[in-house]
Chain A
Amino acid sequence: MTAALAADVAVSNAALRRYLHGLPGVDQVGAEGRAAMLSTRSIKAASKQQAIDLAISMVDLTTLEGMDTPGKVRALCAKALRPDPTDPTTPHVAAVCVYGDMAAIARDAVGDALHVAAVATAFPSGRASLAVKLADTRDAVANGADEIDMVIDRGAFLAGRYLDVYDEIVAIKEACGTAHLKVIFETGELRTYDNVRRASYLAMLAGADFIKTSTGKVSPAATLPVTLILLEAVRDWHRQTGQRIGVKPAGGIRTSKDAIRYLVMVNEVCGEAWLTPDLFRFGASSLLNDLLLQRQRMRTGHYSGPDYVTID
């Protein structure tokens, strides 16, 4: 079904453009209103406890800094495996997310216990030739990454060269081999919600396993309305093709309250099937500490403080 649709619309830039521009427009006020309405849901104790554990298990614990060192990555991996050493019942996170050259160190540190996600394709700008991006991807996979986070060429996308973006995603997907491919749109640069919806379909057509909002390097990063549009896209795609694509909001999600709002939205839009680390992830670093503080608060009955979690 997917292959047939792709063969139909990805024959030329004009055909792809017709398909993407033929998607229904996003009702901006409606999307923002729905996201705001869903975030007022009150989640009470037992559900909150479950939601916090679920959110922890969905975190892609991330460090993407120029100053990353092997030691920092190893420390991150130790935290990913055992987020709260004071409480062994705390679930581990879904994956660690690092630059491609650190993937080997991360893989060495986590073994087969966690996924190792590596950003590739000249992250975060994506400004490099296809050959470099392919080499970057192959290098990350060879280093042991089993998930690749690629960025799309926003310049080409905004200029309307959709087929170029499509072909690039297809080529990277091929270079990934068995590794899962997450496609980052950098929604903060796409300007309109219509563009976000078009980018979602473009990536799904090209074979993305996950669609991801942002790199975390551009503000605004993930927002609730943008994630709502991504979730609607994967829901409709599933209805159309039977294929389940994952969603990963990244950047700007710092508190447990925020994370729970996202989970409520996933449940409302896509249903319970998506409430698993295989189909929903948080790209975050400081979020994990806040989730742990909330978890400690519920366990001990008193408020916890930053002295009781690691400084990353």
Chain B
Amino acid sequence: MMEGRLDVRKTYKLYIGGAFPRSESGRTYAVTDAKGRFLANASLASRKDARDAVLAARAAQRGWAGATAYNRGQVIYRIAEMLEGRRAQFEAEIESAEGCSARRASAQVDSAIDRWVWYAGWSDKIAQVLGSSNPVSGPYFNFSVPQPTGVVAAIAPQRPSLLGLVSVVAPIIVSGNSCVVVASPECPLPAITLAEVLATSDLPGGVVNILTGAPGEIGPWLASHADVDALDLTGVVDDGVATEMAVAAAETITRVLPPPSSPPDWSADPGLGRISAFVETTTVWHPQGV
């Protein structure tokens, strides 16, 4: 009777604290390809999932920031290695989700991998470039050192689904922040596959937490959350919503990176802007000769 195998379909879940839970609300939504054909069901995260993700990010942040910059760089490079090993899967997912050509999908995966490598290299150079030794009028050494801001909540851009996500997450974590990121609602599948890559890359659980669902639903809860230290609004397209979230963030003294004024060219050299947006400068005085 057995004619061929039954399909083994993947359940796309959230990525919180290094684990893959379903949404606590039990909700899912149908994800379609560019032509509207059904691809899979993804979890529709609720505000309580966002709360759990912030808890996980907070728990992981101290350890991640405490790791040496060299070690963080190695871990991030490892993500690039793992991504390279699964590129075929990412290409297929991007192709169907975004409805682009195989060549463009492949180019996006290339850029995403290169982006990880690029940021991995920055890990132990941030302090030299953003920090300084300051001349002061007294017998003191005076240093300014960049420190991670803490827990960063981010809204990833809608497109490109993989490269946009990586370009948002990598600069946040490279300096020792942990992050909660809301993936592209239209193309969430590459994000969850990226979570599988992160889970196998020696990245401590909780440093990156990925939620899928409606940014308009979860975003305001993340913005107003008192335990979120910074907010990256890159993926918010509506100016009104962005302002509303920035106001909510201000209530609890949260640093905000506003959305770009025009759609950025994600394949261009990203520069240091995204790293420096999520570090705080600590200045230390130290007496000379002691």
A69 to B163, CA, bound (A): 54
Q: B221 on the interface (CB 8 Å rule)? A: yes
For residue B48, give the distance in angstroms from its CB to the closest CB of chain A: 10
- The answer to whether A303 and B251 have CB atoms under 8 Å apart is no
A residues contacting the other copy or chain, number (CB 8 A) = 9
Q: A304 on the interface (CB 8 Å rule)? A: yes
- The answer to whether B248 and A303 have CB atoms under 8 Å apart is no
Among A301, A302, A304, A306, the most chain B Cβ lie within 10 Å of the Cβ of A302
Q: A305 on the interface (CB 8 Å rule)? A: yes
A303 to B58, CA, bound (A): 14
> Which chain B residues in 225-261 approach chain A with CB under 8 Å?
225-228, 248, 251-252
Q: A307 on the interface (CB 8 Å rule)? A: yes
Q: How many A-B residue pairs have CB under 8 A?
A: 30
For residue B153, give the distance in angstroms from its CB to the closest CB of chain A: 11
- The answer to whether A306 and B224 have CB atoms under 8 Å apart is no
A303 to B225, CA, bound (A): 5
For residue A26, give the distance in angstroms from its CB to the closest CB of chain B: 33
A302 to B225, CA, bound (A): 6
A303 to B221, CA, bound (A): 7
For residue A218, give the distance in angstroms from its CB to the closest CB of chain B: 25
> Which chain B residues in 79-130 approach chain A with CB under 8 Å?
none
A305 to B248, CA, bound (A): 15
A305 to B229, CA, bound (A): 10
Interface 1/0s, chain B 204-224, versus A by CB < 8 A? 000000000000000001001
For residue A301, give the distance in angstroms from its CB to the closest CB of chain B: 8
Among A301, A304, A305, the most chain B Cβ lie within 10 Å of the Cβ of A305
| Residues of A contacting B: mostly | loop
Among B54, B58, B221, B252, the most chain A Cβ lie within 10 Å of the Cβ of B252
Taking CB atoms, residues of chain A closer than 8 Å to B248 are 302
Q: B51 on the interface (CB 8 Å rule)? A: yes
- The answer to whether A302 and B227 have CB atoms under 8 Å apart is no
- The answer to whether B251 and A302 have CB atoms under 8 Å apart is yes
A306 to B225, CA, bound (A): 11
For residue A309, give the distance in angstroms from its CB to the closest CB of chain B: 10
A59 to B145, CA, bound (A): 43
For A306, give the chain B residue with the smallest CB separation: B227
Q: Tell me which of A296, A303, A307, A308 contacts B54 (CB under 8 A).
A: A303
> Which chain B residues in 49-95 approach chain A with CB under 8 Å?
51, 54, 58
For residue A298, give the distance in angstroms from its CB to the closest CB of chain B: 13
For A303, give the chain B residue with the smallest CB separation: B225
- The answer to whether A304 and B227 have CB atoms under 8 Å apart is yes
> Which chain A residues in 264-307 approach chain B with CB under 8 Å?
296, 301-307
A308 to B225, CA, bound (A): 12
Taking CB atoms, residues of chain B closer than 8 Å to A306 are 58, 227
Taking CB atoms, residues of chain A closer than 8 Å to B251 are 302
Taking CB atoms, residues of chain B closer than 8 Å to A301 are 224
- The answer to whether B221 and A307 have CB atoms under 8 Å apart is no
A304 to B225, CA, bound (A): 6
For B151, give the chain A residue with the smallest CB separation: A305
Taking CB atoms, residues of chain B closer than 8 Å to A304 are 226-227
Interface 1/0s, chain A 5-32, versus B by CB < 8 A? 0000000000000000000000000000
Taking CB atoms, residues of chain B closer than 8 Å to A305 are 54, 58, 225-228, 252
Taking CB atoms, residues of chain A closer than 8 Å to B221 are 302-303
For residue A302, give the distance in angstroms from its CB to the closest CB of chain B: 4
A301 to B225, CA, bound (A): 10
Taking CB atoms, residues of chain A closer than 8 Å to B224 are 301-303
For A296, give the chain B residue with the smallest CB separation: B226
A73 to B226, CA, bound (A): 29
For A304, give the chain B residue with the smallest CB separation: B226
Taking CB atoms, residues of chain B closer than 8 Å to A303 are 51, 54, 221, 224-227
For B54, give the chain A residue with the smallest CB separation: A303
Taking CB atoms, residues of chain A closer than 8 Å to B54 are 303, 305
> Which chain B residues in 18-65 approach chain A with CB under 8 Å?
51, 54, 58
A304 to B224, CA, bound (A): 9
Taking CB atoms, residues of chain A closer than 8 Å to B226 are 296, 302-305, 307-308
A302 to B248, CA, bound (A): 9
For residue A290, give the distance in angstroms from its CB to the closest CB of chain B: 11
For residue A84, give the distance in angstroms from its CB to the closest CB of chain B: 14
A194 to B227, CA, bound (A): 45
Taking CB atoms, residues of chain A closer than 8 Å to B228 are 305
For B47, give the chain A residue with the smallest CB separation: A303
A301 to B252, CA, bound (A): 12
For residue A294, give the distance in angstroms from its CB to the closest CB of chain B: 11
For B248, give the chain A residue with the smallest CB separation: A302
A308 to B251, CA, bound (A): 13
For residue A241, give the distance in angstroms from its CB to the closest CB of chain B: 45
A296 to B228, CA, bound (A): 16
A305 to B225, CA, bound (A): 8
A80 to B66, CA, bound (A): 34
For residue B282, give the distance in angstroms from its CB to the closest CB of chain A: 17
Interface 1/0s, chain B 176-202, versus A by CB < 8 A? 000000000000000000000000000
For residue B134, give the distance in angstroms from its CB to the closest CB of chain A: 29
14 contacts between A and B (CB under 8 A): A296-B226, A301-B224, A302-B225, A302-B251, A303-B221, A303-B224, A303-B226, A303-B227, A305-B54, A305-B225, A305-B226, A306-B58, A306-B227, A307-B227
- What 4 A-B pairs come out closest when comparing CB atoms? A305-B227, A302-B224, A305-B226, A303-B225
Identify 7 new A-B residue pairs, CB closer than 8 A, beyond the known A303-B54, A307-B226.
A296-B226, A302-B221, A303-B226, A304-B227, A305-B58, A305-B252, A306-B58
